[in-house]
Structure 1
Amino acid sequence: MTLEIVGIIIILLIVALYITTYLIRKKHYRTIDELDTRKKTLMESFPTTKIQSLEKRSMSGQSRETADELEKQWDNIETQQFPAIESMLFEAEQATDRYRFKKARADQEAAKEKLTEVQTSLKLLNDRLDALMKQEEENLKRIETIKKRYHTIRKDLLAKSFSFGRSAEALEERLGTMETDFSTFSHLTATGDHEEANQLLEQLEETIHTMENYMTEIPQILTKIDEDTTEQIQEIESGYQTLKEEDYIFPDESIKEELASVHVKLESINKAISTLEIKQAENESEKLDQNIDKIYEKLELEIEAKTEVKELVSQIRKILLYLKEQNRKLLVEIDRLSQSYHLYRDELKEAEAAEERISEFDKQYIRINEQISDKKIAYSTASEQLNTLFDELEALNEKQSEISSYLTDYRESELEIKGDLEEMELAMREMKRYVEGKNLPGLPHEYLDFFFYTTDHIQKLSQVLAKPKLDMNEVYKLHELCEDDVDQLAEKTDQLVDQAILSELVSQRLYRHKNDYSEVNETIRYSRSLFTEEYDYETALKMVREKLESIEPGAFETIEKEYYKEKKYA
């Protein structure tokens, strides 16, 4: 029984192996047939007719070289690459017959790659053949378009030759060169050298495009040069000559040199146009415009400066007269005030220095004015110098105003401080009456010392102000000291009275608790001793306040708020 099973298994394996081998061979044969069909399809697309037609055509030059190259490519495909594919497919079939499937697969892949390569080569070959065979027709179409554009240019050049001026001859030469190129094209086409003819077409198209640009650009730049630029140059030369005749002076002779340079540049532009170097002509024309603008600016500067100089001469003369008079008044006022005050800001020295500067400025003004009258200075230079002088005179005027304000300040400060002195004396009397009106048992030594200290300062300020010649520096210091003292005394007075009154109010509130708290009487008694005997209202208040707060928290704040409220509206 076991042998039978083994036998059956072996038979099944043999059958399975046979079937598998059969299927693999069938798959390889199918692939080989597909590749063979693809090869036949490629063979049917061979451009045989085109190659034969190419061989019959009359060609020369680069066209002939291109045709020969294409024929070689075709010969290589037909005699080498296709036989190689057939050999690969045959080898694959033989390997399949012998069950050498690995080699068969390798040959199939190689044949497939070769077919793809040949297909690409054939497409490229076909495209190049079509292009070569159509080139003559395309070239003829292009040459006709170029000739039409050429005739349009020739017609315009003939009809409007005046618009092209000095460039007409060069344009004619370019057109003559194109006529030669047309003849060369015809010869190349007749001899079948279409490749060379195509290259010549590229050159002709570039030339005709350049010529069309010339036909637009040259009239524009010539119009600008012959009309605008030339007119500006003539205007500048005429204006310059007129100004010279009117005795205008220029800082240097640069305008004459710049005008000569303008003519040189203008000639250079004309030369560039005559040789059709249009871009160079445009660049130089732009630079020429800039040069012309600079010359215009120089002429306009002198014209405008003349008007400005005339105004400045008149203004500065008036300013000098005004400053001289002002300085004279300052010196008189300084002399008068120096009898009543010690002048501590060097007013006399500053005024004398100002007088010297006015004298120097007057000399400068006379010198510049004489140069203008004698035509020895350019208006622009005179304007610059006069403007500088004007600024310096303005600065001097500000300095004089500053000195004048200093002088005014002496008397005004004296009157203001005397008024403050009266107010401070009144404040001292009012503070004394205020304290006396509160019927306090007495005043602390510290408060009394400061009161008399302040009084002494006020008396000293009054004595200094009574001197026949005031030292305002001393006055200012004493005045400031007195103001601070009076302010502090007022603050101390308010504080002293507040503490005294609050001490009594708090004691009254605390007295309500004498039956409930035995120590209250002792606190009130001790506080009263400080109040009536030592006049220490601050400590007296502190004692009763602390005791009240320990018994009735917040009570002091209530009393204090009510007190200040009543005081505010009293």
Structure 2
Amino acid sequence: MKYIIPTIIVLCVILAIVFIFRRKHRNEIERLDQKKLQIQNKPVLEELTKVKALNMNGQTEEMFERWRNKWTELMDVEMPKIDVLLFDAEEQVDKFHFGKATEIEKEIESRITEYDQEMVKILKELDELIGSEERNRIEIEQIKEQYRAARKTLLAHQYSYGPAANPIEKRLEKFNPQFEEYDQLTASGNYLNAREIVVKLNEEGQVLFKLINEIPALLTEIQHKIPSDIHEIRNGHREMEEQSYFLAHLEILEKLDRIEENLVEFKQKIAELDIASVQHRVVEIKDEIESFYDALEKEVIGKRFVENNFAEIGELLESAIEATEKTAKEADTVQKSYRISQKEADVPVNCKQQLLSLRQNYELLSIEVQEEQSAYSSMEEVLKELKTSIEQLFEEQEQFADRMKSLRIDENKARATLNNQKKLLHETERMLHKANLPGIPEEMDARLEEAAERIFVVVNNLQEIPLNMETVNKNLEIAEKCIVDVHSSAIEMLENVQLIERIIQYGNRYRNSNPAMHQQLLEAEDAFREMRYTKALEYAATAVEAVEPGSMKKIQVLAKSEV
């Protein structure tokens, strides 16, 4: 038993492997058989039947026989050989000769692949032949129709083709021999050779029929439209020169001469049926001619502008110079009373220098206008630049003049503000002294004194000659803030004093019955007499609120109404 069981296991494993290999080879043989059937089922015979409907002569007949013989050989000779090989492979598998079976399977695979490629090649050639016949028939009719239409157009409108008529006619004449050759090849069954002629005719037709469609319009541009535009521009150019326009810088006449030379070359190229470069250049020439019209129109507009604005801009320039001189005198007067920065003081001087420079440019331009030897478009640009510069300097002077005028306004405004602040400070002091107070706290006295000093500084600033309004306004702003703050503090202090008195009066009703409250009110009165009003308000409010919560709100309402 020790050796029998392992032996049985080994034998079982070997048998399993054998049966696995056997199953694998049977599957491969079945696959190859199916592949063979696929080749046999390819529609070669059906396609060969279609060929019989064609003209069975010459090339077609020769190709048909070759395909049929190859098909017959494959089906009657080669396929039976594959059947024999498949049978041999099965026998080798049954005998468990798997190595030999593998060799036979490889040979079958190689033959099937070879036969399949031959079938594909035959079907492709069949499709090309049958398709060529159909495409040839359709396309040749289209080409003939286009050919007839082209000849009809050429005969009816021969004058429209100018020097291109004869070359086109000669190229059209070459179509007929090719049509005849096509018919002969088709009649003799040489469809593939006929296909070559159709392709060639189609290529030639596309080029030639395009020429027939495009040359008349191109010749119209070259012979009529462009020459007409050139003539019109020359006349306009001459008339404008007679009206004293300076046009030499545009070089229009020279460019028109070159265009006319090009037109002669274009006719020669059209006679050679070379129209691609001509079409491109014609588009460029039309754009160039349009630019000539624009340039001449620009000169007309320029002249109109110069005539309508030259004198006006000159007057504007003189007015600006006169205004600058006036502003400079006003600035000298202002500087005696007010201090201004050197940059501001230099504004009138700089403006005048720039205006005098502009006057020189204007005088030079005036000479050009009189001599009529400059383009009006360029003079228009110079005039516009002059006008813009003058207007900018005018605006700069107006701003400077406004700043000078504002100095007097700022001074008057500062003096009025100062007087108002003096009155407010005086009212504050009078209000404090009239109030029934034990005295004014030191802090309030110090703030009143500081406010008075601020007023004094501003008064001294306003007495300076020349006045520095920047310093005046800065110190005035400080003084105004100081006085407003002390006035607000004084009102707040008086309101607190009034409130203290009302609280103590309200709390007197509880003094006899509440010793603690009486003592707190005494402390409040002591603080009041010592001018510690905030502390007195705190003591009194705490005492009354402790005895009668919410009483402070009623007392505050009464105190505010009295204030």
Report what 2:350 is aligned to: 353
**Please, which of 277, 280, 283 is the counterpart of residue 286 of structure 1?**
283
Task: Give 3-state SS (helix, strand or coil) of 2:346's partner.
Answer: helix
**Please, which of 531, 536, 539 is the counterpart of residue 540 of structure 1?**
536
Task: Give 3-state SS (helix, strand or coil) of 1:377's partner.
Answer: coil
Query: CA–CA distance in 2 between the matches of 1:384 and 1:162?
Result: 50
Query: CA–CA distance in 2 between the matches of 1:40 and 1:339?
Result: 120
**Please, which of 228, 245, 248 is the counterpart of residue 242 of structure 2?**
245
Matching of residue 480 in structure 1 with residue 477 in structure 2: yes
Instruction: Sort the Cα spacing of 1:194 and 1:555 in 2 relative to 1 into closer, same or farther, 3 A.
Output: same
Kept in 2, the 8 Å contact 1:511–1:520? The answer is no
Q: How does 1:85-96 map to 2 (within 5 A)?
A: 85-88=82-85, 91=88
Q: CA RMSD in A?
A: 4.4
Kept in 2, the 8 Å contact 1:524–1:544? The answer is yes
Query: CA–CA distance in 1 between the matches of 2:74 and 2:157?
Result: 60
Q: How does 1:217-256 map to 2 (within 5 A)?
A: 217-250=214-247, 252-256=249-253
The residue type paired with residue 540 of structure 2 is V
Matching of residue 368 in structure 1 with residue 360 in structure 2: no
Task: Give 3-state SS (helix, strand or coil) of 2:246's partner.
Answer: coil
Q: How much has 1:142 moved relative to structure 2?
A: 4.5
**Please, which of 377, 382, 385 is the counterpart of residue 385 of structure 1?**
382
Which whole-Å deviations, capped at 9, do the CAs of 1:4-57 have from their partners, x for residues lacking one?
xxxxxxxxxxxxxxxxxxxx9xx99xx99x98x979996998579969979995
Q: How does 1:177-192 map to 2 (within 5 A)?
A: 177-189=174-186, 192=189
Report what 1:17 is aligned to: none
Matching of residue 455 in structure 1 with residue 452 in structure 2: yes
Q: How does 1:328-477 map to 2 (within 5 A)?
A: 328-344=325-341, 348-462=345-459, 465=462, 470-477=467-474
Query: CA–CA distance in 2 between the matches of 1:425 and 1:462?
Result: 11
Instruction: Sort the Cα spacing of 1:228 and 1:433 in 2 relative to 1 into closer, same or farther, 3 A.
Output: farther
Kept in 2, the 8 Å contact 1:312–1:387? The answer is no
Kept in 2, the 8 Å contact 1:85–1:111? The answer is yes
Query: CA–CA distance in 2 between the matches of 1:146 and 1:122?
Result: 35
Query: CA–CA distance in 2 between the matches of 1:52 and 1:522?
Result: 139
Matching of residue 493 in structure 1 with residue 490 in structure 2: yes
Instruction: Sort the Cα spacing of 1:41 and 1:439 in 2 relative to 1 into closer, same or farther, 3 A.
Output: closer
Query: CA–CA distance in 2 between the matches of 1:421 and 1:49?
Result: 122
Q: How does 1:166-205 map to 2 (within 5 A)?
A: 166-189=163-186, 192-205=189-202
Q: How much has 1:241 moved relative to structure 2?
A: 2.9
Q: How much has 1:252 moved relative to structure 2?
A: 2.8
Q: How does 1:71-150 map to 2 (within 5 A)?
A: 73-74=70-71, 76-78=73-75, 80-88=77-85, 91=88, 125=122, 128-129=125-126, 132=129, 139=136, 142-150=139-147
Query: CA–CA distance in 1 between the matches of 2:354 and 2:337?
Result: 28
Q: How much has 1:370 moved relative to structure 2?
A: 1.0
Instruction: Sort the Cα spacing of 1:456 and 1:83 in 2 relative to 1 into closer, same or farther, 3 A.
Output: closer
The residue type paired with residue 288 of structure 2 is N
Kept in 2, the 8 Å contact 1:337–1:407? The answer is yes
Report what 2:58 is aligned to: 59
Q: How much has 1:308 moved relative to structure 2?
A: 1.9
Which whole-Å deviations, capped at 9, do the CAs of 1:338-369 have from their partners, x for residues lacking one?
44444556655322332232222212111111
Query: CA–CA distance in 2 between the matches of 1:473 and 1:70?
Result: 113
Kept in 1, the 8 Å contact 2:317–2:355? The answer is yes
Which whole-Å deviations, capped at 9, do the CAs of 1:500-546 have from their partners, x for residues lacking one?
223333444555554675433232222212212x3221222233345
Q: How much has 1:404 moved relative to structure 2?
A: 1.0
Query: CA–CA distance in 1 between the matches of 2:445 and 2:204?
Result: 115
**Please, which of 310, 315, 318 is the counterpart of residue 315 of structure 2?**
318
Which whole-Å deviations, capped at 9, do the CAs of 1:380-408 have from their partners, x for residues lacking one?
22122222221211121112112211221
Instruction: Sort the Cα spacing of 1:542 and 1:65 in 2 relative to 1 into closer, same or farther, 3 A.
Output: farther
Kept in 1, the 8 Å contact 2:299–2:375? The answer is yes
Report what 1:503 is aligned to: 500
After TM superposition, the structure 1 stretch with the greater mean CA deviation from structure 2, 151-160 or 483-492, is: 483-492
Instruction: Sort the Cα spacing of 1:82 and 1:341 in 2 relative to 1 into closer, same or farther, 3 A.
Output: closer
Which whole-Å deviations, capped at 9, do the CAs of 1:50-99 have from their partners, x for residues lacking one?
69979995425xx6875575356335424642332442465478779x88
Report what 2:15 is aligned to: none
Report what 1:5 is aligned to: none
Q: How much has 1:490 moved relative to structure 2?
A: 1.5
Q: How much has 1:121 moved relative to structure 2?
A: 5.9
Report what 2:211 is aligned to: 214
**Please, which of 292, 302, 305 is the counterpart of residue 308 of structure 1?**
305
The residue type paired with residue 538 of structure 2 is K
Instruction: Sort the Cα spacing of 1:450 and 1:38 in 2 relative to 1 into closer, same or farther, 3 A.
Output: closer
Q: How much has 1:136 moved relative to structure 2?
A: 5.8
Q: How much has 1:164 moved relative to structure 2?
A: 2.4
TM-score for both structures, normalised by structure 1: 0.78
Which whole-Å deviations, capped at 9, do the CAs of 1:77-129 have from their partners, x for residues lacking one?
24642332442465478779x88899999989998998898689668746745
After TM superposition, the structure 1 stretch with the greater mean CA deviation from structure 2, 183-192 or 229-238, is: 183-192
Instruction: Sort the Cα spacing of 1:476 and 1:132 in 2 relative to 1 into closer, same or farther, 3 A.
Output: closer
Matching of residue 263 in structure 1 with residue 260 in structure 2: yes
Query: CA–CA distance in 1 between the matches of 2:329 and 2:51?
Result: 126
Q: How much has 1:409 moved relative to structure 2?
A: 1.3
Kept in 1, the 8 Å contact 2:320–2:394? The answer is yes
Q: How much has 1:377 moved relative to structure 2?
A: 2.1
The residue type paired with residue 67 of structure 2 is L
Report what 1:6 is aligned to: none
Task: Give 3-state SS (helix, strand or coil) of 1:283's partner.
Answer: helix
Query: CA–CA distance in 2 between the matches of 1:335 and 1:423?
Result: 32
Kept in 2, the 8 Å contact 1:166–1:270? The answer is yes
Q: How much has 1:200 moved relative to structure 2?
A: 0.9
After TM superposition, the structure 1 stretch with the greater mean CA deviation from structure 2, 298-307 or 341-350, is: 341-350
Task: Give 3-state SS (helix, strand or coil) of 2:501's partner.
Answer: helix
Task: Give 3-state SS (helix, strand or coil) of 1:439's partner.
Answer: coil
Kept in 2, the 8 Å contact 1:143–1:201? The answer is yes
**Please, which of 134, 157, 180 is the counterpart of residue 160 of structure 1?**
157
Q: How much has 1:172 moved relative to structure 2?
A: 1.7
Q: How many residues are paired up?
A: 534
Instruction: Sort the Cα spacing of 1:290 and 1:535 in 2 relative to 1 into closer, same or farther, 3 A.
Output: same
Query: CA–CA distance in 2 between the matches of 1:429 and 1:307?
Result: 71
Query: CA–CA distance in 2 between the matches of 1:55 and 1:440?
Result: 137
Query: CA–CA distance in 2 between the matches of 1:297 and 1:203?
Result: 48
